[in-house]
Every structure is written in structure tokens, then in C-alpha cells.
């Protein structure tokens, strides 16, 4: 019997003659999608933590699949080959988190099993598929077992260091590359541990030309590494799983982080050795930020940057729309321009293109993100704001939730202030900031937080408040409100003529701003608030009177 056949049988005793690559081709046929339709996939490891880079990548995948045609496919594939790092429930969390940002998959792993005809979608359940392809590579002399121990590999590394040669398992260093097949069979039958390695035929003095959808034309030396395809437990490495899965899931566009560029030469050789047609590749830039201490650009870090983990956005209560909107501006440089011409449109209407993705690091700027979010919230209706705040508070601030939900109409009436016009108020960027902004609407949260104007004496303050308590009416419109304040100004030597005040401030005790701020601090506890007359109307005369009189004591 052919020695290679014998070798493949001892390695994969469970495979039969029917288990061929051709049978896989038939089982997972070309998808027959419309011209231009794209198939993308997200391939996270279920390690339980998701970061902004994952969301950035997922959004790019999702947009690429769904922008061009209506039958593109976005797959969720779970890379669970490293069971030591796996966290129970991580798959549910991935789906839940991405779902909360409005990112939905068409196919793949779901909370209850798999959905789709190209599965299974969890790599550990795909062992047989990898083994079938690996057997073909063995039979064609492109894969072989390697029995090197950790110590032997460390010794090779040390020798390469000493000789100043490239690191790795290749060429003359590849001890088992030309090992006697009968001996290899004997070792396996003897129960010795081994991995399956790729047999590279590459020549690094030759170049490979490659076109990446984001990076453009690339050129790199051919691979010569005999990298591992299957680990000693028969589970594939990322490299092998990537080629097998993306081929048999019929991925058209592999969108993945640019950290994979360094092993791209491996993948190119492996795609060719397997006889599979390569998909298009989009290597996405890393999400970066400006380091506050050093002022230099660096990768976002889960340890240093709270905004790196997705949990941050939920805890702070940023609307999903804000995060997506901001990421869209990072993903496609022409998005902002499109947005200013299409203010009302959904981001899904934007003609997303992989080729418009930046090829150097995407700079995440928390201050800019907050501005984007403030803008998004400012365009919401009072009902939407109420919904957002109360949903967040229910999970994160029970006391505030109770207060809010005791009278939703009251909350909506103050959320309505300054909304809807051409220049809506931009108070908060996330729901966790709201309580501070609106606390004075509730007696149980109200307190005088800021000082009364300095240039108003305690005596004047009391007199102003007492007078005002007498003339104030909840029915006052803006004009009536203003006229009343003016009367008080005149009485106590504060001017309502701002021009005169600016020209000669010493001629007056102060201006109408001071007088209205006395009332503002008494009623809201602070120096800044939305239009005071409107705020007082919402508060109602009972609260207003009580606070004015209390401050006049
Ligand atoms: N599990 C890999 C990662 O998280 C997936 C890379 C890919 O998309 O191919 O980096």
C-alpha cells in the first residue's frame, strides 16, 4: 500500500473513502447569490470580553454584507479552538451585545444552536471537515506529522538566535519534513504525540503580489514556514481553520484585523495548496487613541481605557445609535460629509465601501464621540429620551428609575424643554448623565448646589426673593416673567439695560442677570439651567413658591 495512504489512515482512522474534499464541495456548494452579493463573517473567540475593535469590525462586516445587495450574508462563526480561554455563556453575550447595537447575523451560531446550511458554525464541531482537508494534504505530500517536543523546538529557536537566522520551523530546521514515513507511522502507532504541519514549497527570495481591499497592492516574500495545521489533539490552528471555513462557508470577503497581515503569506500558500479560490481580503486598521500622558498615538487598551470594552457603553448608557454613528465616521472617511447632506437618513442608507476604509489606525476620540452622542440625543423626542433614560435607569439606578416612573408625563415635560427647534439643547451625551442635569425637578434630589451671585448682598437676595414670591404667577408667559424681574431690578438698583451696564458697570449694583440668577439658584440650585420661565412652569407653582421662600429665609 502507498505509504502516504497508510500514514493518513493511522492519523485519521475515523475517515472513510466517502469523506473526500469533493463530498464537502457538494455539501457546501457555491451559494448562487445575486451578482455583487457579499458573504462576510465575524469570527470571535468566545473569551467573554468584547471590545470596541470587535464592534468596529462587526459593523464593517455587516455593512459590507448588507450594503451592496439584499441577499448578502453575514455569518457568526465561533472560533472555540482554544478551550482553555473559553468562558461559558460567551456566545450568548456576543449575540446579545451586538444585537443591542442593532447588528444582526443572517446565519451561524445563535443562542440556541446553529442556523444555516453551511455549518456547523463552531469550530470544535467541525473537526471532521478539517480532517478531510488535512488528509488530502497528507496524500499530496503537503502535510506531515512532526514529533518535536517543546524542548526540541526551544533548542531550534536558540540555535537560530545564535546563528542570526530567521526563527521558525522551515527548511533545514524542519526536522520531520523529510522523515521516513514508515518510522512516522510506527511512532504514531506507538502513541507518540505529534502535530500536523504544512509542507511549504515557498521560496522567500520570490515575491507574492496581493491586493487587499483596504490596504491596496501589497507585495511580500513567499512563505517558507512549515506552520502547524492541526494541534496534537486534532484541533486546527487559526490558519488552517480560516482557510477551510472561509472556503466551505463560501465567504466572499474576509474582513479581519491587520494583525493578520504578518501571517498572510502563510494563508496565501495554504489556500493555493488546498486548491481553493481565495476570497477578497479586507485587513482593517486597529482602533487607536491619543495617549493622554505622552500625546502619542497608541492602540486602545482594555487595561488603560475604559472606553475600550463594550460594557462601558452599556454602563454609561450611550444610545446604541450614538456608538454606531461614531464608528461609521471612523470606518468610512466620507461618512461625515454624507451625513451632513442626509441628516435624517439611517446609516444603512450610506453607500459603505471597504475601499473607503482608512488604512492607518482609526483614531477613537472620546470627546468627539461625546459630541456625536449629544447631537444624537438632542435630535430625539422627549418620549424617546424618557424611554432611553428609564430603560437605562431600570438596570443601573433603581432609585432614579422609581422616581422617573412615578410620573412619566412630568419627566417628559422637562425633557421637552429646548427640543425640536433648529438649535436643540445638547445637555447630555449618555443616560447616566441625566440624573445630575434634572435632579432639581425632584424635591428628594433638589439641593442648592451653587452659590448665589457674589455681587448680590444677602439682604438684597432676601428682598428680591420675597418680592418675587409675591408677584410670581405660574401663568406668566415669557414677557410677563421678564417684566416682573425688571420691576425688581429697578427697585433695588440692578439694571435691565445691558448696554448701559456694560458701558458703566460701576453705576449699578449689578444687572438683570444677577437678579434672575438669584431666582434661578433658589429654584434650581444652580447658575445654569434651560429657560428659567419654562423650567418654573414645569416645576409648578407649589414647588417654586416653596423653594423661593426657603431661600429667602
Ligand atoms: N478569532 C480571530 C480574531 O479574533 C478571527 C480573525 C478573523 O476574522 O479571521 O482575531
CA of 354 to the centre of ligand 1 (A): 18
Report the first-to-last Cα separation within the chain, whole angstroms: 105
**Helices (runs of H) and strands (runs of E) counted in the chain:** 23, 16
Q: What radius of gyration do the chain's Cα atoms show?
A: 33
Domain harbouring 500, CATH code: 1.10.10.350
CA of 214 to the centre of ligand 1 (A): 17
Half-sphere exposure of 151 (CA within 13 A, CB side): 0
Residues 467 and 485: their CA atoms lie apart, in Å, by 10
* Ligand 1, atom 3, residue with closest C-alpha: 44
Neighbours of 200 (CB within 10 A): 24
Which atom of ligand 1 is the closest one to the Cα of 54? 4
> Quick one: 130 and 260 in the same domain?
yes
Torsional class of 417: left (φ above 0), alpha (ψ -120 to 50), beta (otherwise) = beta
Exposed, middle or buried, 298 (CB in 10 Å: 0-12/13-18/19+)? middle
Query: Would you say the CB of residue 242 lies under 6 angstroms from ligand 1?
Result: yes
Which atom of ligand 1 is the closest one to the Cα of 45? 1
> Quick one: 352 and 334 in the same domain?
yes
pLDDT in tens, 4-23: 999 999 999 999 999 999 99
CA of 8 to the centre of ligand 1 (A): 29
* Ligand 1, atom 8, residue with closest C-alpha: 256
CA of 44 to the centre of ligand 1 (A): 6
Which atom of ligand 1 is the closest one to the Cα of 255? 8
Mean per-residue pLDDT for 50-70? 92
CB 391 within 8 A of CB 318: no
CA of 84 to the centre of ligand 1 (A): 17
pLDDT higher than 70, residue 1: no
> Quick one: 344 and 478 in the same domain?
no
Closest to 61 measured CA to CA, from 284, 230, 276, 220? 284
> Quick one: 518 and 437 in the same domain?
no
* Ligand 1, atom 5, residue with closest C-alpha: 43
> Quick one: 437 and 465 in the same domain?
no
Question: For the chain, what percentages of helix, strand and coil (3-state, to nearest 5) are there?
Answer: 50, 15, 40
Residues 76 and 65: their CA atoms lie apart, in Å, by 12
Task: List the beta bridge partners of residue 495.
Answer: 511
pLDDT in tens, 234-289: 999 999 999 999 999 999 999 999 999 999 999 999 999 999 999 999 999 889 99
Domain harbouring 211, CATH code: 3.40.50.620
CA of 187 to the centre of ligand 1 (A): 34
Residue at 262 is within a domain: yes
Residue at 105 is within a domain: no
Say which residues have a Cβ less than 8 Å from residue 236's Cβ, sequence separation at least 6.
81, 123, 130, 229, 230, 244
What DSSP state is assigned to residue 43? Answer: -
Closest to 549 measured CA to CA, from 430, 422, 464, 453? 464
The pLDDT value given to residue 520: 97
Residue at 43 is within a domain: no
CA of 373 to the centre of ligand 1 (A): 29
Residue at 30 is within a domain: no
Residues 170 and 173: their CA atoms lie apart, in Å, by 5
The pLDDT value given to residue 375: 95
> Quick one: 264 and 344 in the same domain?
no
Complete DSSP assignment for 106-171: SEEEETTEEESTT---BGGGGHHHHHHHHHHHHHTTSEEEE---HHHHHHHHHHHHHTT---SSBG
CA of 43 to the centre of ligand 1 (A): 5
Mean per-residue pLDDT for 143-164? 97
* Ligand 1, atom 7, residue with closest C-alpha: 256
* Ligand 1, atom 9, residue with closest C-alpha: 256
Which of the listed residues 284, 314, 333 is the one where a domain comes to its end?
284
Query: Would you say the CB of residue 253 lies under 6 angstroms from ligand 1?
Result: no
> Quick one: 268 and 342 in the same domain?
no
pLDDT in tens, 317-363: 999 999 999 999 999 989 999 999 999 999 999 999 988 898 787 89
CB 100 within 8 A of CB 93: no
Residues 7 and 137: their CA atoms lie apart, in Å, by 12
CA of 383 to the centre of ligand 1 (A): 40
Domain harbouring 318, CATH code: 1.10.1160.10
Residue at 29 is within a domain: no
pLDDT higher than 80, residue 453: yes
The pLDDT value given to residue 49: 79
Query: Would you say the CB of residue 79 lies under 6 angstroms from ligand 1?
Result: yes
Dihedral, 492, 493, 494, 496 alpha carbons, nearest 10: 100
Neighbours of 104 (CB within 10 A): 12
Query: Would you say the CB of residue 284 lies under 6 angstroms from ligand 1?
Result: no
Q: What's the pLDDT band for 69 if we cut at 50, 70, 90?
A: confident
Residues 205 and 223: their CA atoms lie apart, in Å, by 10
Residues 292 and 15: their CA atoms lie apart, in Å, by 57
> Quick one: 171 and 278 in the same domain?
yes
Q: Which of 256, 267, 281, 283 to mutate to test the pocket of ligand 1 (most atoms within 8 A of CB)?
A: 256
Mean per-residue pLDDT for 74-94? 87
Residue at 34 is within a domain: no
CA of 261 to the centre of ligand 1 (A): 12
CA of 300 to the centre of ligand 1 (A): 17
Residue 74 backbone phi and psi in degrees, to 5: -115, 120
The pLDDT value given to residue 169: 98
Q: Count the domains in the chain.
A: 4
**Exposure string for 23-54, b = 16+ CB within 10 A, e = fewer:** ebeeebeeeeeeeebbbbbbbbbbeeebbbbb
Q: Which of 257, 271, 278, 302 to mutate to test the pocket of ligand 1 (most atoms within 8 A of CB)?
A: 257
Owning domain of residue 187: 2-23+126-284
Closest to 283 measured CA to CA, from 344, 324, 242? 242
pLDDT higher than 80, residue 48: no
Q: What's the pLDDT band for 303 if we cut at 50, 70, 90?
A: confident
Closest to 310 measured CA to CA, from 387, 415, 330, 318? 318
Which atom of ligand 1 is the closest one to the Cα of 246? 9
Mean per-residue pLDDT for 444-470? 94
Query: Would you say the CB of residue 131 lies under 6 angstroms from ligand 1?
Result: no
Which of the listed residues 395, 410, 441 is the one where a domain comes to its end?
441
> Quick one: 358 and 403 in the same domain?
no
CA dist 401 to 84, 377, 387, 412, Å? 40, 19, 11, 14
CA of 454 to the centre of ligand 1 (A): 60
Q: Which of 39, 41, 42, 45 to mutate to test the pocket of ligand 1 (most atoms within 8 A of CB)?
A: 45
The pLDDT value given to residue 47: 82
Residue at 51 is within a domain: no
CA of 210 to the centre of ligand 1 (A): 20
Sheet of strand 228-230: strand arrangement: 143-146, 195-198, 228-230
**Alpha helical stretches, state H, 275-433:** 311-316, 320-331, 335-341, 366-378, 382-396, 398-406, 408-415
What DSSP state is assigned to residue 89? Answer: T
pLDDT higher than 90, residue 136: yes
Residue at 38 is within a domain: no
Q: Which of 42, 43, 56, 255 to mutate to test the pocket of ligand 1 (most atoms within 8 A of CB)?
A: 43
Query: Would you say the CB of residue 44 lies under 6 angstroms from ligand 1?
Result: yes
CB 213 within 8 A of CB 281: yes
The pLDDT value given to residue 91: 86
Closest to 329 measured CA to CA, from 296, 300, 287, 298? 287
CB 251 within 8 A of CB 40: yes
Mean per-residue pLDDT for 194-201? 98
Which atom of ligand 1 is the closest one to the Cα of 256? 8
Q: What percent of the chain has pLDDT over 90?
A: 83
> Quick one: 276 and 227 in the same domain?
yes
Task: List the beta bridge partners of residue 59.
Answer: none
Which atom of ligand 1 is the closest one to the Cα of 41? 8
Q: Which of 55, 75, 260 to mutate to test the pocket of ligand 1 (most atoms within 8 A of CB)?
A: 260
The pLDDT value given to residue 335: 95
Which of the listed residues 378, 396, 418 is the one where a domain comes to its end?
378
CA of 360 to the centre of ligand 1 (A): 19
Task: List the beta bridge partners of residue 122.
Answer: 78
Complete DSSP assignment for 320-342: HHHHHHHHHHHHBTTHHHHHHH-
Task: List the beta bridge partners of residue 362.
Answer: 287
Which atom of ligand 1 is the closest one to the Cα of 42? 8
> Quick one: 422 and 510 in the same domain?
no
pLDDT in tens, 393-442: 999 999 999 999 999 999 999 999 999 888 889 999 999 999 999 999 99
Residues 500 and 147: their CA atoms lie apart, in Å, by 93
> Quick one: 533 and 482 in the same domain?
yes
Amino acid at each position: 500500500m502507498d505509504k502516504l495512504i497508510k500514514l493518513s489512515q493511522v492519523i485519521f482512522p475515523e475517515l472513510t473513502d466517502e469523506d473526500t474534499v469533493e463530498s464537502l464541495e457538494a455539501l457546501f456548494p457555491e451559494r448562487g447569490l445575486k451578482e455583487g452579493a457579499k458573504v462576510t463573517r465575524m469570527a470571535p473567540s468566545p473569551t467573554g470580553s468584547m471590545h470596541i475593535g470587535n464592534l468596529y469590525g462587526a459593523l464593517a462586516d455587516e455593512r459590507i454584507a448588507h450594503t451592496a445587495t439584499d441577499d448578502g450574508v453575514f455569518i457568526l462563526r465561533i472560533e472555540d479552538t482554544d478551550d482553555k480561554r473559553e468562558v461559558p455563556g460567551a456566545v450568548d453575550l456576543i449575540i446579545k451585545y451586538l444585537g443591542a447595537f442593532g447588528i444582526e447575523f443572517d446565519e451561524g451560531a445563535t443562542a440556541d444552536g446553529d442556523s444555516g446550511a453551511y455549518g456547523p458554525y463552531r469550530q470544535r464541531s467541525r473537526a471532521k471537515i478539517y480532517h478531510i482537508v488535512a488528509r488530502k494534504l497528507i496524500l499530496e505530500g503537503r502535510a506531515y506529522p512532526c514529533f518535536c517536543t517543546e524542548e526540541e523546538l526551544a533548542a531550534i529557536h536558540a540555535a537560530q538566535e545564535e546563528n542570526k537566522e530567521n526563527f521558525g520551523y522551515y527548511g533545514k530546521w524542519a526536522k520531520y519534513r523529510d522523515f521516513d514515513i514508515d518510522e512516522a507511522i510506527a511512532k504514531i502507532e506507538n502513541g507518540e504525540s505529534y502535530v500536523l504541519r504544512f509542507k511549504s514549497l515557498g521560496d522567500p527570495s520570490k515575491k507574492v503580489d496581493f491586493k487587499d481591499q483596504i490596504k491596496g497592492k501589497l507585495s511580500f516574500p513567499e512563505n517558507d514556514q512549515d506552520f502547524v495545521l492541526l494541534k496534537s489533539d486534532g484541533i486546527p490552528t487559526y490558519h488552517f481553520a480560516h482557510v477551510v471555513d472561509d472556503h466551505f462557508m463560501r465567504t466572499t470577503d474576509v474582513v479581519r484585523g491587520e494583525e493578520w497581515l504578518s501571517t498572510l503569506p502563510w494563508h496565501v500558500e495554504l489556500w493555493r495548496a488546498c486548491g481553493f479560490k481565495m476570497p477578497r481580503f479586507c485587513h482593517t486598521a486597529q482602533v487607536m487613541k491619543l495617549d493622554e500622558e505622552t500625546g502619542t498615538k497608541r492602540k486602545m487598551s482594555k487595561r488603560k481605557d475604559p472606553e475600550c470594552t463594550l460594557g462601558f457603553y452599556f454602563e454609561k448608557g450611550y444610545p446604541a445609535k450614538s456608538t454606531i454613528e461614531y464608528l461609521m465616521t471612523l470606518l468610512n472617511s466620507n461618512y461625515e460629509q454624507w451625513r451632513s447632506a442626509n441628516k435624517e437618513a439611517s446609516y444603512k442608507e450610506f453607500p459603505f465601501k471597504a475601499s473607503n476604509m482608512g488604512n492607518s489606525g482609526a483614531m477613537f476620540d472620546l470627546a468627539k464621540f461625546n459630541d456625536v452622542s449629544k447631537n444624537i440625543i438632542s435630535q430625539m423626542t422627549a418620549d424617546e429620551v424618557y424611554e432611553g433614560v428609564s430603560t437605562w435607569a431600570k438596570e443601573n439606578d433603581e432609585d432614579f428609575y422609581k422616581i422617573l416612573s412615578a410620573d412619566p408625563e412630568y419627566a417628559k415635560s422637562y425633557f421637552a424643554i429646548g427640543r425640536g427647534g433648529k438649535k436643540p439643547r445638547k445637555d447630555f451625551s449618555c443616560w447616566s448623565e441625566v440624573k445630575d442635569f434634572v435632579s432639581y425637578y425632584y424635591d428628594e434630589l433638589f439641593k442648592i448646589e451653587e452659590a448665589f451671585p457674589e455681587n448680590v448682598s444677602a439682604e438684597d437676595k432676601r428682598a428680591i426673593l420675597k418680592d418675587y414670591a409675591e408677584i410670581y404667577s405660574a401663568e406668566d408667559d415669557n414677557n410677563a416673567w421678564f417684566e416682573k424681574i425688571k420691576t425688581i431690578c429697578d427697585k433695588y438698583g440692578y439694571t435691565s439695560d445691558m448696554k448701559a451696564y456694560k458701558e458703566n458697570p460701576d453705576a449699578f449694583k449689578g444687572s438683570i442677570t444677577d437678579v434672575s440668577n438669584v431666582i434661578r439658584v433658589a429654584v434650581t440650585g444652580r447658575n445654569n439651567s434651560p429657560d428659567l420661565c419654562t423650567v418654573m412652569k414645569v416645576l409648578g407653582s407649589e414647588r417654586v413658591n416653596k423653594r423661593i421662600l426657603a431661600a429667602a429665609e
